Homo-oligomer: A and B are copies of this chain.
Amino acid sequence: MLDQAILAWKAVLGADHVVTDSGSLVAAGSATFKTTQRIPAIIRPQTRQEVQEVLRIATRFRTPVYPISGGKNWGYGSRVPVTDGCVLLDLSRMKRIVNFSEDQGYVTLEPGVTQGQLFDFLQERKSGLWMDATGSSREASMIGNTLERGFGHTPSGDHFSNVCGFEVVFPNGEVIETGAARFENGCAGEVYRPGLGPSLDGLFAQSNFGVVTRMTFWLMPAPEAFQAFFFRCDREDALPAIIDALRPLRLNGTLRSAIHVGNDYKVISGIQQYPWKETNGETPLSLELIRKFRKDMKFGAWNGSGALCGTDAQVRDGRRLVRAALAGKVDKLQFVNKRILALGSRFAGASKYLTGWDLSKTIELAKPLFGLLQGVPTDKPLTSVYWRKRTPIPKDMDPDRDGCGLQWVAPVAPLVGTNADELAKLSSEILLRHGFEPMLSYTLLTERAMICIISIGYDRDLPGEDDKATACYKELEAALDARGYMPYRLGIQSMGKMRMEGAYGELLRAIKRTVDPASILSPGRYLSEVDTTSDKALGQPCR
């Protein structure tokens, strides 16, 4: 059946866009952790009509396909399909920006459009609009990240809440548009999300119901005034107070952008690779040592970044409120504008002189963050994936190729200090015991919820590390479940956690049957029949 499908696909796409050489297939099958899935082919349509044709063929020949936009889903499985034997449906050739309005603040994209491409597009037009970028790389797909409910650092940081008007191709070859966009001559397709009647947009996030071939992103006008702020706290027990102090500012709209708070391990992994010399090659990096690094390099046990956007007066007032909220809770709070940052990077002393805080060491980290807080995509955060490598970080980073080990666990919790604290203690104990540094970051994503990203970083080229990391991952996952911290997003190794029991699962299955009668689209992605967690979800709820 596969051979017939491949022939048919070649007829539609041309032989160049049906890739079967083993080199490419093996590369596509490797992620930042151990995978065994084989990929028999990669097909690369360029238009929505080609996607329809390709899916009809897949359905006819019962050949499972697995769409990827940019394939940069590092830490969650990269480009690797959930199940074995899926053909990769690579949408990266669909790079059209099909609609744009400066006045109304939106842009309509295809899945191949990357963060970098959109940013350059806006720059060329000297647009006064900001996009939001996730801290992954310039090559990340706008649509791909949004469909996984990814997030960034600006007031539009919650990506899925700032899009509408999806064009979706069902596996059966049919096409729909969602919301107001489905009315042929309707005028609100790019601006009014729900349309009329039940809204379907939510069905296409974290699912395998259809291939999204078009999406409208809402862009915000660049604010009159912008100020980033960075804070650090040297006390390890200070996190709950910080989170509880920031919640009211999130709730009342003072902080409209997503604040990020990272621990010491997170910061150092962003500045440099593992300190093999200082540790005499021992892992994990001990608490004693990380404390020493904190002192020497002037970062805190907890380190925050955020931004104030608005008019001059609003930003000035925001500074007052942030200062007041964090007073006595952090050891250093620094508001940073372009001038300070420029000086800071020119020579170590300057920023210290200006700010009383030696930014020189953390400047490398601060700079790309300063950009991200304004929606400027960057490759810099990716360097942290090379944390445990003994080889230097290459110019053309490719974590999958370079054997960078990364597994992410990403629980969501209420924006409450005690929850942040429990997540930190629980994960730190488990990771250190398994021999990994607990790299934690908290994103205050909405007014009421935060997402905690826990990185398990390692060197895949060291024998046994993959298995060690996976054992750690599994224990951490189970422990979080038991405490009621469900993930906001899943890696391909734990799709079973979605849970499909009861009427909820029945409804999802019915939708799947309707749009994908041959179930050829991303089998096992989120909609999994295997529930690995239902028996584990015991223990006390986290509230």
Contacts and interface: CB of A to CB of B under 8 A. Distances in A.
Contact of A541 (B149, B185, B205, B502): B185
B160 A194 contact: yes
B198 A209 contact: yes
Interface centre among A176, A317, A320, A507 (most CB of B within 10 A): A507
Interface in A92-135: 103-106
Given A194-B202, A196-B490, A511-B507, A412 B252 contact: no
A196 B486 contact: yes
Interface size range of chain A in the complex: 35 or more
A46 interface: no
A247 interface: yes
A291 interface: no
Given A175-B503, A176-B507, A514-B506, A192 B537 contact: no
Nearest to A309: B253
B192 A446 contact: yes
B176 A218 contact: no
B526 A218 contact: no
Nearest to A490: B196
Nearest to A541: B185
Interface stretch (A4-12, A137-145, A413-421): A413-421
Given A502-B174, A503-B175, A514-B510, A218 B447 contact: yes
Nearest to A207: B198
Given A503-B176, A510-B513, A449 B191 contact: yes
A462 interface: no
B200 A507 contact: yes
Contacts of A503: 170, 172, 174-176, 515
Contact of A155 (B190, B207, B253, B317): B253
A23 interface: no
A348 interface: no
A201 B541 CA distance: 23
A251 B221 contact: yes
A79 interface: no
Given A188-B486, A253-B256, A317-B314, A205 B198 contact: yes
A416 B513 CA distance: 41
B510 A191 contact: no
Interface in A192-223: 192, 194-207, 209, 218, 220-221, 223
Contacts of A413: 187-188
A275 interface: no
Nearest to A525: B197
Contacts of A499: 182-183, 196
In the A-B complex, the 8 residue pairs with the closest CB atoms: A199-B202, A174-B503, A191-B448, A510-B514, A313-B317, A187-B542, A198-B207, A192-B449
Given A197-B207, A313-B317, 7 more contacts: A176-B507, A183-B486, A187-B543, A191-B415, A196-B498, A198-B527, A310-B314
